[in-house]
A and B are shown apart, each in its own frame.
Chain A
Amino acid sequence: MDNLLHNLEKSPVKDVRTVLVWDLFVRLFHWSLVILVLITGITGFLGEEWWLDYHVWAGYGIGGLILARLIWGLVGSPYARFSSFIFSRAETLRFFKELLRGRPSHYTGHNPAGALMVFALVFVLISITISGLIVLGGQENQGVLAGVVPYFVGEVFEEIHEVLSFLLLALIGGHIIGVFVESRLSGDNLVRSMVTGTKESASPDEFKHSKLKSAFVFLTVLAVIVGSGGWVYVALAELPPNGLIKMTVNKTYATECGDCHFAYHPSLLPANSWHKLMTGLEEHFGEDASLDKDVSKGLSDWLQKYASEKWDTEAANNLRQLDLKNLISITATPYWKKRHSEIAKAVFARKSIGSKGNCIACHKDARSGRFDDQQISIPLNQKEKEI
């Protein structure tokens, strides 16, 4: 039936009239996707770390939209169905040849070039969404995959996520150029069509199509997928985050070390560093911080037991690479320096922060060793807080 339709469409223009090509679902889908991709693009490429939530939620939204579009592509209205724009290689080649000559055949729905673009966009968007979830679970220990993805996998997928995002940018550029070229060559205003849903068409007949049936099948399939997927989601989400171990509370640490400075999470230095630090307390970052032998021994054992080697968090993994001239300083590590390079000295000097070593002033979850992006909040100068 679809082939018949294309043949009819390509017949010489006789009776031009307005037909509904893009149904309400397709139009809502398209513009919602535009908004969500803009949000993920802006937050991903330009945003501060603490915008991660917006990026992630927009990403979930994109995933949901694509899922709905995939179902609608099977059961939706005629021009929305994938089957209506899967073209043979010969037809695609012919179309590109015609395009090069500047006289492409007219298609009411997607032409072969547009169809290729749709499939490429859908494929890349699915890949970005999945890779994003893997990054979120591996690197940030957040989201549905937090319990199953190791840190290094997250790191690898961050690169993939990024490359795919640039690819998406290129595709979007191509898509927009394609829309303007086709609008010019065909005389259709394709942007307006995606708003009103209508195009001028020479097609003599409209499809016989039951909207009600489409909607019903769509909702049923969606419910089945979301329902069954929901169980998997809940099961995965209940797993404890990968790489965060359970640690005994150490009250001595909180007072003996925490009286002077933020009580750094043991995962922020390797065991060797903790040992070196605890045996050199008489010369502790420019002060004498000596402790009774039994107290310092107890603390040293505890710190080494929960040192960075035992954790698979973003902070533990990255801070493990030390500054070879200063093996006991967290703020001297290359990673710490890199991540704080954009923060002016004056910011650290603020009364509300005090020093580079006062993690908790800006990282609200520093006590847990997680250092989530969303938990960053740099306090202003005038706000004086008890730390």
Chain B
Amino acid sequence: MSKPVFMLALTGLLVASLAPVQAGSARTSILEKLQKEAGTAFSAERGKILFSSTHKGGKPKTNSCTVCHTKSPLKTGKTRAGKDIAPMALSKTKDRYSDPKKVAKWFRRNCRSVLGRECTALEKGDFITFMSNL
């Protein structure tokens, strides 16, 4: 192996090994922001209830997260249009909750669909905490 190729490979390896760390720090900063806004400590238990319960006020065909994500966040879900959704649990889908734009977009849409309103910072934090501890 020539020297430049070796260096390139080494750099690649380094970047690859750092990627989860970067996702992790991005996630931490998202959670910290939500924490500041919420003011209360997040609870995985509350997140679980939010995920599993059936809600009123949202759109009739999507009255629970479980309609698309299935009852277990560890399983692959399916959109109503038939597309697979990677599992919600962080242990199954490593890059979840690390892109602030995506997190904002999906909470906005899906909370409106399921609850009929946007979620509070506390709800979002509970949800991510629940998904991170599975």
**Given the known A-B contacts A287-B59, A288-B112, A290-B108, are A386 and B84 also in contact in the complex, defined by CB atoms under 8 Å?**
yes
Task: List A residues 333-387 near B (Cβ within 8 Å).
Answer: 351, 353-355, 357-358, 361, 386-387
Give the number of residues in A that approach B within 8 Å (Cβ atoms). Answer: 23
Residues 93-123 of chain B, each 1 if its beta carbon lies under 8 Å from chain A, else 0: 0000000000001001110110000000000
Most buried by A among B60, B61, B83, B84: B83
**Given the known A-B contacts A287-B109, A290-B108, A290-B112, are A261 and B59 also in contact in the complex, defined by CB atoms under 8 Å?**
no
Q: Choose one: A259, A288, A355; the contact of B113 (CB below 8 Å).
A: A288
Contact B83 A358 (CB under 8 A): yes
> Is A187 located at the chain interface by the 8 A CB criterion?
no
Contact A288 B82 (CB under 8 A): no
Residues 59-102 of chain B, each 1 if its beta carbon lies under 8 Å from chain A, else 0: 11110000000000000001111111000000000000000000
Residues of B contacting A351 with CB < 8 Å?
78
Residues of B contacting A51 with CB < 8 Å?
none
Residues of A contacting B109 with CB < 8 Å?
287-290
24 residue pairs from A and B, CB less than 8 Å apart: A259-B83, A260-B81, A261-B81, A261-B82, A262-B81, A262-B83, A286-B59, A286-B60, A286-B61, A286-B62, A286-B80, A287-B61, A288-B110, A288-B112, A290-B109, A351-B78, A353-B82, A354-B83, A355-B80, A358-B81, A386-B84, A387-B82, A387-B83, A387-B84
> Is A282 located at the chain interface by the 8 A CB criterion?
yes
* Cβ-closest chain B residue relative to A290: B109
CA–CA, A358 to B110, complex, Å? 21
* Cβ-closest chain B residue relative to A287: B113
Contact A288 B59 (CB under 8 A): yes
In the assembled complex, the CB of A121 is this many whole angstroms from the nearest CB of chain B, namely 49
In the assembled complex, the CB of A32 is this many whole angstroms from the nearest CB of chain B, namely 46
If A261-B82, A361-B82 are given as contacts, then 17 extra A-B residue pairs at C-beta distance below 8 Å, sorted by A number, are A259-B83, A260-B79, A262-B82, A286-B61, A287-B59, A287-B62, A287-B80, A288-B113, A290-B108, A291-B105, A292-B105, A351-B78, A354-B81, A355-B82, A358-B83, A387-B82, A387-B83
Residues of B contacting A357 with CB < 8 Å?
81-82
Residues of A contacting B113 with CB < 8 Å?
287-288
Task: List A residues 282-334 near B (Cβ within 8 Å).
Answer: 282, 285-292
Residues of A contacting B81 with CB < 8 Å?
260-262, 285, 354-355, 357-358
